[in-house]
Amino acid sequence: MSVKYPDLDCNFPESVDNIDKMQDLTTVTKPLADQYYAMVEAGQISEANTFLANNPSLVYSIFNASKFNKLRDSMIAVQRMFRDDIDEYLGELHDLESIDGGVY
């Protein structure tokens, strides 16, 4: 969890986030995905979530809210850092380096 951005589910900027790579379905995971989505379509959400938890090989092929939110929070952390820290830092550098002191 980020110290600087405790409202986000990320480790940035204190460390780099470890985000798992996704993988396409294989001949092994395709039947599992079919079962998972059949449960979802039948409204058996709790059962589908349990099925997904019990089939870790399928986890890397299913894109869900948890994965999206992790990516979202990581992007927001980078954006905040650029907006709040780097923009200010570049402005300070400009003032130091400018011939006229940065006054325009």
| 84 and 96 part of one domain | yes
From residue 47, alpha-carbon distances to 25, 51, 60, 96 in Å are 21, 6, 18, 61
Domain region containing 70? 1-18+64-104
Q: Over 60: is that where the pLDDT of 63 sits?
A: yes
* 91 lies in the same domain as 68: yes
Q: What percent of the chain has pLDDT over 90?
A: 59
Same domain (yes/no): 35, 50: yes
CB 36 within 8 A of CB 58: yes
| Residue given tokens 């570049």 in the structure block | 90
Q: 68-99, pLDDT tens digit by residue?
A: 999 999 999 999 998 888 877 777 666 665 55
Task: Please state, in angstroms and rounded to a whole number, the distance separating the CA atoms of residues 86 and 46.
Answer: 44
My answer on whether 97 and 75 are in the same domain is yes
Q: Please tell me whether residues 31 and 48 are part of one structural domain.
A: yes
Tally the domains of the chain: 2
Asked whether the whole model's pTM tops 0.85, one would answer no
Same-domain check for residues 55 and 69: no
